[in-house]
Structure 1
Amino acid sequence: MTLTDRLIAPGATRAEVTLGFSVAIGGAAGAAALAIRAHHPWPVVAVIAVLAFDLFGGSVVNAMGSAKRWYHRPGRTAVHHLGFVAIHIQPFLLAWVVPAFSWTAAVTIYVLAITGALIVTVAPAPLRRPIAFAVTAFALLWVTGVLAVPAEVAWFAPVLLIKLLLAHLLPEEASR
């Protein structure tokens, strides 16, 4: 399996690869610029840029046909999808390197992602898509309206939730 197969998906088209990496690089550059403007030291800027590369790129890549076919191939279960969500410990990495990003915010974001993923994966298949959007919308209400996070990483929770709950968990819909 090539690096592109691992980062995008096996069988990704040239357009998918270009789009995925372009969005990842753009997100990393934008997040790094915000971190620099907030006067974070270079190691913190680097961590934020890597997290942004993963989340921005992943939010687009996981919505692509090749990734949908890969992550929702025969034999994949809710346990696989929940495991994918669970390994996204980025909120804790952010709390570790950005002093104003609290551990409470990290735990809240992580719990919202896991709880949202549980709700989506147990929902009846015909309702999974609208439920995923509902859960994400309510989680966004919480993370943007209740949690206090530094402005330079305010993008983090919304992009993480989009990547996991909307892009990753939802299988490809058949064309009509």
Structure 2
Amino acid sequence: MTMTDRLIAPGATRGEVLVSFGTAFAGAALSVALAVGAGLPALAVGVIAVVAFDLYGGAVVNATRSAKLWFHRPGRTAGHHLGFVAVHVQPFILAWAVPGFGWTAAAVVYGSALTAALAVTATPPPLRRPVAFAATALALIWTTSLVSVPHAVAWFAPLLLIKLLLAHLLPEEAAR
């Protein structure tokens, strides 16, 4: 398996690779600029760079046809998808490294993503797409209005929800 197969998906097209990595690098650069502009310490800036690269790139990767076909191949279960969501512990990494990103905010963001993912995976397939959008929209209230995070990382929770709930959990649909 090649590095591209591991980072995107087996059979990823050249276009998928370019858009995915281009978005990852652009998102990381913009996020680092925000963090530096906010005067965050070097450790926080470094962590933000890595998290941003993963989330910006991952939101695009998970939306590609190649990744959807890979992640939703025969034999993949709700448990696999929930596990994928559960390993995204970046909220706690930010709470550890970024001043002002509290543990409560981390728990709310992580809990919202996991709860929404449970709702999506428990929904019958014909309703999964609208439920994913509903769960994402409702989780945005919790993650952007009920807890506060530093302005330099205000992009984090919405992007995490997009990556996990809308891009990852929804399978590729056949064209009509």
Fold match by TM threshold 0.5:
yes
Written as runs of structure 1 = structure 2, the 5 A alignment for 1:93-132 is: 93-132=93-132
Using the TM superposition, name which of 63-72 and 136-145 deviates more.
Answer: 136-145
| Aligned position for 1:159 | 159
Structure 1 partner of 2:37: 37
C-alpha deviation, 1:119, in angstroms = 0.2
* Equivalent residue number for residue 48 of structure 2: 48
Residues 77-88 of structure 1: pairs in structure 2 closer than 5 A: 77-88=77-88
Distance apart, 1:142 and its partner CA:
1.6
In 2, the alpha carbon distance for the partners of 1:133 and 1:31 equals: 25
Matching of residue 62 in structure 1 with residue 62 in structure 2 = yes
Partners of 2:89 and 2:26 in 1: how far apart?
22
- Structure 1 distance, partners of 2:35, 2:3, is 28
Q: Distance in 2 between matches of 1:122 and 1:31?
A: 34
How many residue pairs match? The answer is: 176
User: Once the 2 structures are TM-superposed, how far is the Cα of residue 43 of structure 1 from its aligned partner?
Assistant: 2.1
Residues 103-158 of structure 1 show CA distances to partners (whole Å, capped at 9, x for unaligned) of 00000100001100000000011000000000000001221111111100000000
Partner residue in 2 for 1:11: 11
Between the aligned partners of 1:81 and 1:172, the Cα distance in structure 2 is 14
Aligned-residue CA RMSD (Å):
0.6
| Cα shift readout 1:62-98 (whole Å, capped 9, x = no counterpart) | 0000000000000000000000000000000000001
Question: Within 2, Cα distance between the matches of 1:5 and 1:43?
Answer: 30
> Would the aligned equivalents of 2:108 and 2:142 in 1 still touch at CA under 8 Å?
no
Report the Cα offset of residue 42 of structure 1.
1.9
Whole-angstrom CA distance in 2 between matches of 1:146 and 1:44: 23
* Corresponding residue of 1:2: 2
3-state SS of the aligned residue for 1:91?
helix
**SS of aligned partner of 1:88:** coil
TM, length-normalised to structure 2: 0.99
Structure 1: which 4+ aligned runs deviate by more than 4 Å?
Answer: none
1:141-160 alignment, distance < 5 Å: 141-160=141-160
The alignment's TM-score, normalised by the length of structure 1, stands at: 0.99
User: Structure 1 regions of 5+ residues with no counterpart?
Assistant: none
In structure 2, distance between residues paired with 1:64 and 1:57: 11
Query: How far apart, in 2, do the equivalents of 1:95 and 1:142 lie?
Result: 17
Q: Distance in 2 between matches of 1:122 and 1:28?
A: 33
Q: 2:139 — aligned with what? A: 139
